[in-house]
């Protein structure tokens, strides 16, 4: 399918413009390995322009144009963006698919979620006005207190390549709803006031690093690798700048012996191979009860062999290529290392025979894995599932929590009490019960341990971009009375002086009278 890839510039202060150093980066279709276009590569000089534009937009007309405008005003812009995204859904989905290799059906779903997310935060923006001056109950009647929620300021938003538009939306929608102005690295348009949203595409070291360390950026929100996240934290720490980080994962899926094998096998495959395995929450560590392991794995392999691997635009495609040649080599290296360490490649692990071009890897299932192996401990970011068995619930939890990451986890069982018990003991920010990977913009998203901190989506996502201000008023007519009042002292001293004069007069009069 021929897709016209538009030529774009940077978007700064309401205008499209070429990067100052005129650098551009090639776009490669991962299904064909062909260069299909290019994008501008921003550098520190462009970051300066974008941050300055965002700062001006934040304070323009004393903030009345955006930052302290009623939430209903900002909501209109967010709904306008949602409408434009919906209007161009087919075009945007095709660009997503050709850019990162995900099946077109998945890309369409992503774009629908983008529009829905902007609509959701439009509603929350409107609701912010009613929440202002929320009273705080105090133990002293002489004081009254309330809370203001204000935009945190200029925010830098750094997003990954696996969900180009959706991950950007998860940050742009709530930050704009809160009244912040933003510099996004990178993603797309709708008549916003100049400088409110600025878009910089480019490489991390040349554009992301100067954005993270810029003194005029009030907050950084980042989704990406743990290694890059730690660098952003270090840069932000120099200025005590708040950050929210959604980083890597090595999520487990626990399958107990009482499951429907087909249902569990499909969710296991979906949890690891959705988005070509290129998703930070992928449940890529299968922990299956030993009593059903052999039969379950046989069934799982049948499901994986039934997955259509093809160009993302082919009808029925369910697994496309990984994003780049570098990522392709990295995935194959993980697989070969696992094999050299003694693991068994039960299924997949190679390029599909019918696809001679493109960065395709068959969905891969690896068994005979130990907990010390690289494949068990490190994020692959590709369609690779590793397997361990367990005999008790306690052992399953121990295996599941044996990781530096804590983003997602899944438990599959017909015993809902057990699911509830296991959910409470899994060390993850997201737990799926009898499913894997569902995501809704109304629910919080984020992890623990080296998977980051802070929450995106839902009301929690909006709170990421709000600063809470306490306002407390003394309402009594009486003086506070902690110190002796200088004015009262003056009155007291004057009374004492008059009393002394009166006493002295009486004393003198008595002395005079007695002398007569």
The Cα–Cα gap between 369 and 221 comes to 35
Contacts of 232 (CB under 8 A, 6+ apart): 158, 208, 212, 220, 222, 243, 245
145 forms beta bridges with 136, 472
How many alpha carbons lie under 13 Å from residue 161 in its C-beta half-sphere? 18
Cis ω before 470 (30° cut-off from 0): no
Contact at 8 Å (CB) between 151 and 22?
Answer: no
Residue among 208, 413, 217, 382 at smallest CA distance from 296: 413
Q: How far is CA 266 from CA 224, 270, 305, 309, 352, in A?
A: 27, 6, 12, 16, 21
Distance of CA 461 to the CA centre of its chain: 8
Strands 24-29 and 34-40 turn out to be antiparallel
The Cα–Cα gap between 44 and 374 comes to 36
Q: Given 96, 106, 188, 246, which residue is catalytic? A: 246
Contact at 8 Å (CB) between 407 and 453?
Answer: no
The answer to whether residue 246 is catalytic is yes
The Cα–Cα gap between 113 and 157 comes to 19
The Cα–Cα gap between 260 and 126 comes to 45
Sequence-ordered strand ranges (E) for 208-283: 219-223, 243-246, 252-255
Q: How far is CA 419 from CA 66, 124, 256, 398, 414, in A?
A: 46, 32, 10, 15, 8
How many alpha carbons lie under 13 Å from residue 358 in its C-beta half-sphere? 26
Instruction: Give the residue numbers marked as catalytic.
Output: 246
């Amino acid at each position: 399918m021929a897709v016209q890839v538009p030529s774009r510039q940077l978007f700064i202060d309401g205008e499209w413009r070429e990067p100052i150093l005129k650098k551009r980066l090639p776009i490669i279709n991962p299904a064909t390995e062909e260069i299909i276009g290019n994008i501008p590569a921003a550098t520190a000089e462009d970051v300066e322009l974008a941050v300055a534009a965002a700062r001006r937009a934040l304070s323009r007309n004393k903030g009345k144009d955006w930052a302290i405008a009623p939430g209903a005003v900002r909501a209109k812009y967010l709904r306008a963006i949602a409408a434009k995204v919906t209007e161009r859904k087919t075009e945007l989905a095709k660009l997503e698919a050709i850019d990162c290799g995900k099946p077109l059906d998945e890309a369409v779903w992503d774009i629908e979620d983008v529009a829905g997310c902007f609509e959701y935060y439009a509603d929350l923006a409107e609701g912010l006005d009613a929440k202002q001056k929320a009273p705080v109950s105090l133990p002293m009647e002489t004081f009254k207190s309330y809370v203001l929620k204000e935009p945190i300021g200029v925010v830098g938003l750094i997003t990954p390549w696996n969900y180009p538009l959706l991950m950007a939306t998860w940050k742009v929608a709530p930050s704009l709803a809160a009244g912040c102005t933003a510099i996004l690295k990178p993603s797309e348009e709708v008549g916003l006031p100049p400088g409110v949203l600025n878009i910089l595409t480019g490489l991390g070291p040349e554009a992301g690093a100067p954005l993270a360390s810029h003194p005029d950026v009030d907050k950084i929100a980042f989704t990406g690798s743990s290694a890059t996240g730690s660098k952003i934290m270090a840069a932000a720490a120099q200025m005590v700048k708040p950050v929210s980080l959604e980083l890597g994962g090595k999520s487990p899926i626990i399958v107990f012996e009482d499951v429907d094998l087909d249902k569990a096998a499909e969710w296991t495959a979906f949890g690891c191979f959705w988005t070509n395995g290129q998703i930070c929450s992928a449940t890529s560590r299968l922990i299956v009860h030993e009593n059903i392991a052999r039969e379950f794995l046989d069934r799982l392999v049948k499901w994986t062999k039934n997955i259509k691997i093809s160009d993302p635009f082919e009808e029925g495609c369910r697994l496309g290529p990984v994003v780049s040649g570098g990522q392709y080599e990295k995935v194959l290296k993980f697989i070969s290392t696992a094999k050299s360490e003694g693991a068994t490649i039960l299924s997949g692990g190679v390029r599909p025979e019918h696809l001679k071009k493109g960065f395709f890897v068959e969905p891969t299932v690896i068994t005979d894995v130990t907990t010390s192996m690289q494949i068990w401990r490190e994020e692959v970011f590709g369609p690779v599932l590793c397997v361990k068995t367990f005999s008790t619930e306690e052992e399953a939890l121990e295996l599941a929590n044996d990781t530096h990451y804590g983003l997602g986890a899944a438990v599959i069982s017909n015993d809902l009490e057990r699911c509830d018990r296991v959910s409470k003991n899994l060390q993850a920010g997201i737990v799926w019960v009898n499913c894997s990977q569902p995501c809704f913009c109304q629910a919080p998203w984020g992890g623990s341990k080296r998977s980051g901190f802070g929450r995106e989506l839902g009301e929690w996502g909006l709170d990421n971009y709000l600063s809470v201000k306490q306002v407390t008023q003394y309402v009594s007519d009486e003086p506070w009375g902690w110190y002796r009042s200088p004015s009262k002292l003056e009155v007291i001293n004057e009374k004492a002086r008059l009393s002394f004069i009166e006493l002295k007069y009486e004393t003198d009069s008595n002395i005079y009278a007695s002398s007569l």
